[in-house]
Amino acid sequence: MDFFIYTKYFILSSFYYGEKFFKKIDAAFLFSCLYTFATYRTVDIYYRSAIAEAIALTIIPAVLYYAYGLIFNREKKVIALSVSISLLVYTHVLTTLLCSALIACMIIVRLFLSKQIKNDIKFVVVNLVKAVFLTCALTSYFWYPMLQQMNYQEIHSPFKTDLQLEALSISDSIIQALNNDITTYTMGLLGLVALIFPLFILKEMEKKEKIIYVGVVSTWVCVTNLFPWFLFQKTPISLLQFPWRILGIQIFFSSMIITLVFMKKTMNKKYSWLIIGATVVFLLVTSIAAKENYAKVIQSKHGHIVINEETLPRYTTSDMGGLYDYAPTEAIKERPHLEKHEVKVGESWEKGKYKAADNNITYTVASNKKQKVTVPVYAYLGTQVKVNGKVVNDSYKKHGLVNVDVNAGENKIEITTKYTPTALMALWISILTYCLVVYSSFKRFAPNKLKDSRYVTKKEINKKNENK
């Protein structure tokens, strides 16, 4: 049910911004179909289960539409751009960084095309600075606690990959696209068509259309090992981990360019809807083919996975990765004991007895004397510890784990985490900023006076009588 609602919203959102981009309903409908049925989006949902990234794909059209309006059309889209980027930040950070890089490229292109470069630079810089500050206020609940934790102790960054090795080879990229194989990281038939078809009408394309096509080609090249990823291995760009993440941007450009080709070649409305119908059928056929191919590679019952006591451990523990991303760096030294949920009593490690609830975890530890006990729980800033009901002061942190004094006998160590006062302040800044944005938008777009021809105020009646 949740997936159905998400897909429905995805289609409606794509259609809305498609209509904004193309100013035509049929073109907007085609764009929404292409973008919704794009193979990489299906890969994100079914193969990778990367739900956050899949949701981020819904927001990309909004971010790029408002950024385009501000940069190329000198439209004051500061609030809309900031809100859309803030939603992207809360959804998926890497997609936010990719969109930020794309916006930077848009600025460079705009400056090259500008005839009044001085005025354009001033307008773009001023409004983007406003957007940055507003976005920071809207997302303070996200970035402030993160920076606060990083300042408190060293945090283990996500695992790094060899970008050049993770990039796709040209042959693999094309073969996987032809097969529309959703068990691989592919642009699918949509991306392949977007690379080839525009070549036949390249001379007929306008400057903006050529720029979009360059976007299609360049994002595809960045996904492959043609791009010199080895040059960026020791830079912050390595946080991308997998170059094929850029396919999220590539399918957006692909949907755009195919729609533009469609608009150029179908001036007759009768034939335009015929082509749209054929496109929808084509997308359905390729989706069915992809599903059948997926069923052959990934063996499971059609339409569902059976979950019971026997299969649950396999589904929840198989092929798990990134378990120590963002953990305190010191705590990773005790990794073998963390994996077994062991407790360190004095100098020896033993199996821990624990009970987990929604917002806390309680360890029961038996000790033969008064001594130190380390439990396998990360000691982040804001961690609160109680031993036998008594609150322990902030000296519990040791090697990134909770470390407390216990007495002889049975001890109950209850651990919970709360936001710091300044982190809660950041939350209220975000909430109040969103409220101000909503109020400002309502005040701007609502009519100054709500008048009804059937309703006349007492003041207006008296004024009419005076005139008589």
* Least confident among 303-307, 371-375, 422-426: 303-307
Categorize the per-residue pLDDT at 109 as very low, low, confident or very high, splitting at 50, 70 and 90.
confident
Q: 240 and 389: one domain?
A: no
Q: What is the Cα–Cα distance from 54 to 14, expressed in whole angstroms? A: 13
Q: What is the pLDDT of residue 320?
A: 64
Quickly list H helices, 224-268.
247-265
Q: What is the pLDDT of residue 454?
A: 44
Number of alpha carbons in the 13 Å side-chain half-sphere of residue 17: 27
DSSP 310-330: TTHHHHHHTT---TTTTSBGG
**Number of C-beta neighbours around residue 142 at 10 A:** 17
Q: Is 276 left (phi over 0), alpha (psi -120 to 50) or beta?
A: alpha
Decide the pairing of beta strands 342-345 and 348-351: antiparallel
Q: 67 and 141: one domain?
A: yes
Q: What is the Cα–Cα distance from 55 to 247, expressed in whole angstroms? A: 14
Given a cut of 90, whether residue 38 has pLDDT beyond it is no
Give 84 or 110, the one with higher predicted confidence.
84
Q: 250 and 348: one domain?
A: no
Region 285-314 average pLDDT: 62
Q: What is the pLDDT of residues 415-440, one digit of tens each?
A: 998 899 999 999 999 999 999 999 98
Q: What is the pLDDT of residue 41?
A: 87
Q: What is the Cα–Cα distance from 430 to 145, expressed in whole angstroms? A: 12
Q: What is the pLDDT of residues 65-101, one digit of tens each?
A: 999 999 988 888 899 999 999 999 999 999 999 999 9
Q: 173 and 274: one domain?
A: yes
DSSP 180-231: T-TTS---HHHHHHHHHGGGGGGGG--HHHHHHHHHHHHHHHHHBTTS-GGG
Residue 424 lies in a domain: no
Percent of the chain with pLDDT over 70: 82
Q: 353 and 265: one domain?
A: no
Q: What is the Cα–Cα distance from 329 to 379, expressed in whole angstroms? A: 11
Question: Which tokens hold the place of 283?
Answer: 């997308």
Region 280-288 average pLDDT: 72
SS3 55: helix
Q: What is the pLDDT of residues 198-235, one digit of tens each?
A: 888 888 888 888 999 999 999 999 999 999 999 999 99
- Three-state SS letters, 376-433: EEECCCCEEEEECCEECCHHHEECCEEEEEECCEEEEEEEEECCCHHHHHHHHHHHHH
Residue 399 lies in a domain: yes
Q: At 354, which CATH number?
A: 2.60.40
Q: 247 and 390: one domain?
A: no
Q: What is the pLDDT of residues 118-143, one digit of tens each?
A: 777 888 889 999 999 999 999 999 99
Q: What is the Cα–Cα distance from 117 to 110, expressed in whole angstroms? A: 9
Q: What is the pLDDT of residues 150-176, one digit of tens each?
A: 998 888 888 888 999 999 999 989 988
Q: 340 and 228: one domain?
A: no
SS3 342: strand
Given a cut of 60, whether residue 467 has pLDDT beyond it is no
Percent of the chain with pLDDT over 90: 37
Q: 226 and 153: one domain?
A: yes
Residue 164 lies in a domain: yes
Question: Which tokens hold the place of 352?
Answer: 């821990």
Model's pTM, two decimal places? 0.83
Q: What is the pLDDT of residue 208?
A: 86
**Number of compact structural domains in the chain:** 2
Range(s) of the domain holding residue 389: 330-417
Q: What is the pLDDT of residue 76?
A: 87
Q: 168 and 258: one domain?
A: yes
